[in-house]
Structure formats: structure tokens, C-alpha cells
Amino acid sequence: MVKFVVLQVLCACLAFSASAQGTAQDVLRQISDRAPDVIFLGEIHDNPTHHRNQHEIALTLAPSALVFEMITAESAGDVTTTLAQGGLDGLRAMLDWDNSGWPDFEFYAPLFEMAADAAIYGAWVDRDSARAAFDLGAAQAFDGDAARFGLDQPLPPEEQATREAEQMAAHCDALPADILPAFVEAQRLRDAELAARVLEALDTVGGPVLVITGNGHARLDIGAARLLRFAAPTVSVFSLGQTEDGRVPDAALYDAWLSATAPERGDPCAVFR
């Protein structure tokens, strides 16, 4: 599915600078020192080590809620009941996971099993909403207070240009330039939806809230983590980015980072040829 391939490429195109790599336990110590309300756990979606790190961190933190980029708000409400009645196989079927475009369900299953002790929220933007963002802009497509998340304001020109360039790189330089602003608007919508579901979780069950999402949405400079800080400045946020093969993300992107060996995968740009 193009969506998944695009995110792979985007993760690989992040800027890098020198830093020291740690372990999941090192990240946990940083989180413990800061005691944030919200922790973004970024990932490259098909990297199994990234998912093991997420699970290790989640088990230790015992969050009040988990917010998943990968499922809708509606389906999230049925996760606990479905698990109780049909187990993981039933949940996989209910979510129609095998047709979702996301990688192996087993990567996420241990986190879904935490539904017995943590509330589950979903933030996936469906195709109709994404299309509305393409056509009308994120503010019009967002089902909520767009101004609260800054969607009613244009991005600064420099940021707009940078984000359009990132979208072009993420799509292997295969997009016409005039469609790039629409891709940026769709990304802003997805960030706002994640941030909104986090605030819903905080208001309903309190923190800590863990967010399971791709690295792009976990970014502090332009992602959902930034929109959350914009919408609720008193909410404390921690963001983990996860890279591959020792790549080091720019220090402005995350509070901490981990790297793992990249799995075997084909050319992510082949789909565009």
C-alpha cells in the first residue's frame, strides 16, 4: 500500500546529527525523570525491534491509555469487548487488519492486549477525511476545533516549503509539485486527529498516555507532538524516535531515540515507477 511505503521513505529521509544511542531502559529512565503526561513512541512500521521497544516501555510505564494511529476512533471502542470474546484472532478480524495496509498484526498484538488495563483510542484518518483535507484543507476536514490546533492558520512560508520538500522526498520525487500542498494538509489533519485523541484520553482517564505512531507524527518540530503542545501548553510531552542502522535524528525532532537493524525489504520507490 502506498501509504505504508511513503512512511518508510519519509523515516529514512530525516536529517541527522551526532548523538549517543541508548536502550529502551535508558529511555525509560529519561521518562521517569521527567514524568510526562504523554509519551509518543515513534516507529518505522515494519521494524519488529521498534515494536519490541514500544512494548517494553509500555509494560514498564503501565499507561492509563494507548492511542493508536493505526485504528479508527470507532473501532477503538470495540477493542476490549472483542478481545474478551474472540481473543486476538477476533480482534484482527474486527479491525480488518489484513486489508488495512499496515504490517504484521503480530507487531501490534502485545500492545492491544494491554486493553485489559489501559483505555484504547484510535486516531486513523479515513480516506474520505483525507480526501477532504486534500480538497478543502485540514481545517475544513477536521471534525473538531480547528483553531485549537492551529489548523486555521497557514504555515510559515519556510516551514511550508520544507514540508513540501519532505513530502516530495517521501514520495520518491514522483509527485507533481502542485499537489504537494494538499499532501501537507492531509498530514496536518492526521497530526491534529492524534493530538485530539490524546487530549480526549487525558480528559477521560488521565495520564500517562502512550501514543503508538510513525516517527513523522512523533516529531516535536512539526508532528502531532507539536500540535498537542500548541493546543494544551500545560500538558507535558516526551517523544521517542526510532531509526535504523545507526541513523541519528536531528536533536530537534525527539527527546530520545533508538536505532535497530533494518529488516529486509524491497525498494520502497518501486511502487512509483
Query: How far is C-alpha 211 from the chain's CA centre?
Result: 7
Q: Please give the share of the chain, as a percent, with pLDDT higher than 70.
A: 92
Q: 89: burial class by Cβ within 10 Å (0-12, 13-18, 19+)?
A: exposed
19 confidence band (pLDDT: 50, 70, 90): very low
63 confidence band (pLDDT: 50, 70, 90): very high
Q: Please give the residue that has the higher pLDDT: either 131 or 11.
A: 131
User: Of 15-24, 130-139, 194-203, 227-236, which range is least confident?
Assistant: 15-24
Q: Are 107 and 48 within 8 A, CB to CB?
A: yes
- What region, left, alpha or beta, does residue 56 occupy, with left being phi > 0 and alpha being psi -120 to 50 degrees? alpha
Q: Does 120 have pLDDT greater than 90?
A: yes
Q: Dmax over Cα atoms in the chain, in whole Å?
A: 51
Q: Please give the residue that has the higher pLDDT: either 47 or 271.
A: 47
Q: What's the average model confidence in pLDDT over 122-138?
A: 97
- The SS3 of residue 91 is helix
Phi, psi values for residue 124, rounded to 5°:
-65, 135
Q: Does 230 have pLDDT greater than 60?
A: yes
Residue 270: per-residue pLDDT: 86
Strands 119-122, 256-260: pairing is: unpaired
Instruction: Cell numbers for 123, please give them.
Output: 486516531
Q: Are 225 and 40 within 8 A, CB to CB?
A: yes
- The SS3 of residue 119 is strand
Sheet holding 256-260, edge to edge: 119-122, 65-68, 209-212, 38-41, 237-244, 256-260
User: Of 18-22, 122-126, 208-212, which range is least confident?
Assistant: 18-22
Q: Does 3 have pLDDT greater than 70?
A: no
Separation between Cα atoms, residue 193 and residue 256, nearest integer Å: 23
271 confidence band (pLDDT: 50, 70, 90): confident
Q: Does 132 have pLDDT greater than 60?
A: yes
Q: What's the average model confidence in pLDDT over 173-177?
A: 94
- The SS3 of residue 175 is coil
Residue 268: per-residue pLDDT: 82
Q: Does 131 have pLDDT greater than 80?
A: yes
Enumerate domains of the chain plus CATH numbers.
2-260 (3.40.50.11550)
The residues near 207 (Cβ < 8 Å, ≥ 6 apart) are: 36, 37, 38, 63, 64, 65
pLDDT tens digits along 207-216: 999 999 999 9
Distances (CA, A) of 227 to 28, 71, 233: 24, 20, 10
Instruction: Cell numbers for 192, please give them.
Output: 491534529
Q: What's the average model confidence in pLDDT over 102-124?
A: 97
Residue among 102, 44, 268, 42 nearest 170 (CA): 268
Average model confidence (pLDDT) for the chain?
A: 92
Query: How far is C-alpha 97 from the chain's CA centre?
Result: 17
Place of cell 541508548: 22
